[in-house]
Structure 1
Amino acid sequence: MKTTNTGSAKYDGLGKAGKGHVSTGSGALDNQPYGFNTRFEDAAGTNPEELIAAAHASCFTMALSFQLGDAGYDKGTLETSCEVTLEKDGDGFTVTRSALTLNGDVQEVDRAKFEELANKAKENCPISKLLDTSITLDIR
């Protein structure tokens, strides 16, 4: 099975003075503003790291949901937040960390099995595989 999804970005102007808009092919984001001021200041809009955090949290949570379902569990709730860290690196920047925090309430699963499946999902969700950075998981 193969799926292809799209996103697009447009940036008018250059550097700090530039203003951009980002959209997803599905329309979930439609010309959402982004730029220096949304990335490094408090202006309304989004930024690439926020989008990566949302993608990683949603991908991991879905992967864990399938891990649990495949293991025979059928009732529960999973909630994951993700914090992506961007750090200055010489002349540029590097994403250095993606920190997942998981809150789960799954009926009849013990803590050890839940942690085993959560760690398997962390290692194997497609976004985890895409990111070449330290990925941590805090299970609560």
Structure 2
Amino acid sequence: MRRTASATWQGSGKEGKGALTTQSGTLRDTPYGFNSRFAEGTGTNPEELIAAAHAGCFTMALAFKLQGAGHTAERLATEAKLSMEQDGPGWKIAAVVLQLKAKVPGVTAEEFQRLATEAKATCPVSRVLNAEITLSAELE
């Protein structure tokens, strides 16, 4: 399986502007630039997209773990909070905090925590990130 995305950029790093497009068409010439990445400007940025990918990947991985254990989630809601920090002359993704709220009928708190921890460790996005990944999982 392969997935593709592309980026274009025009201009300098700070004053330039870019656009992102994904194979699925979900992003099509979606703008990004210095202000959307390092300030509060309009558009997206790579780190926001990584956070969204991580939240989605983890949540789906947990749904599969729950299914394998004989449970179906009524609702899984994950927020991924990504932190960047300066690392020498550049920047790095230092940490991601996954905050999950879930409603899963019939699962015990202990089993839920175990399955959520397994999903965090095994989802492909967690495995590719070189960052500290923590999880707060709340069963409603």
TM-score (norm 1): 0.96
Q: Please, which of 128, 131, 134 is the counterpart of residue 130 of structure 1?
A: 128
% same residue: 47
Q: Aligned ranges for residues 97-116 of structure 1 at < 5 Å?
A: 97-116=95-114
Q: Whole-Å Cα distance in 1 between the matches of residues 81 and 47 of structure 2? A: 9
Gaps of 5+ in 2: none
Secondary structure (helix, strand or coil) at the match of 2:110 reads helix
> Gaps spanning 5+ residues in structure 1: where?
none
DSSP-derived class of the 1:16 partner: coil
Aligned residue identity for 1:77 = R
For 2:45, which of 44, 47, 55 is the aligned residue?
47
Segments of 4+ in structure 1 off by > 4 A?
A: none
Q: Deviations over 1:75-108 (max 9, x none)?
A: 4210101011111122110100011000000000
Alignment map for 1:1-140 (pairs within 5 Å): 3-140=1-138
Indicate if the aligned counterparts of 2:9 and 2:19 stay in contact, CA closer than 8 A. yes
Contact 2:54 2:80 in 1 (8 A): yes
Query: Considering only aligned residues, what root-mean-square deviation do their CA atoms show, in Å?
Result: 0.8
Distance 1:6 1:21 in 2: 14
Local SS of the residue matching 1:17: coil
| CA distance in structure 2 between the aligned counterparts of 1:75 and 1:65, rounded to whole angstroms | 7
C-alpha contact 2:20 2:31 (8 A) present in aligned 1: yes
Deviations 1:11-37 (A, max 9, x none): 100210110001111000111111111
1:53/1:30 Cα in 2 relative to 1: closer, same or farther (>3 Å)?
Answer: same
Per-residue CA deviation, residues 61-87 of structure 1 (Å, 9 max, x unaligned), is 000000000100124210101011111
Where 1:62 maps in the other structure, the secondary structure is helix
| Deviations 1:29-56, CA, capped at 9 Å, x for gaps | 1111111110111111001110000000
User: 1:58 is paired with a residue of what secondary structure?
Assistant: helix
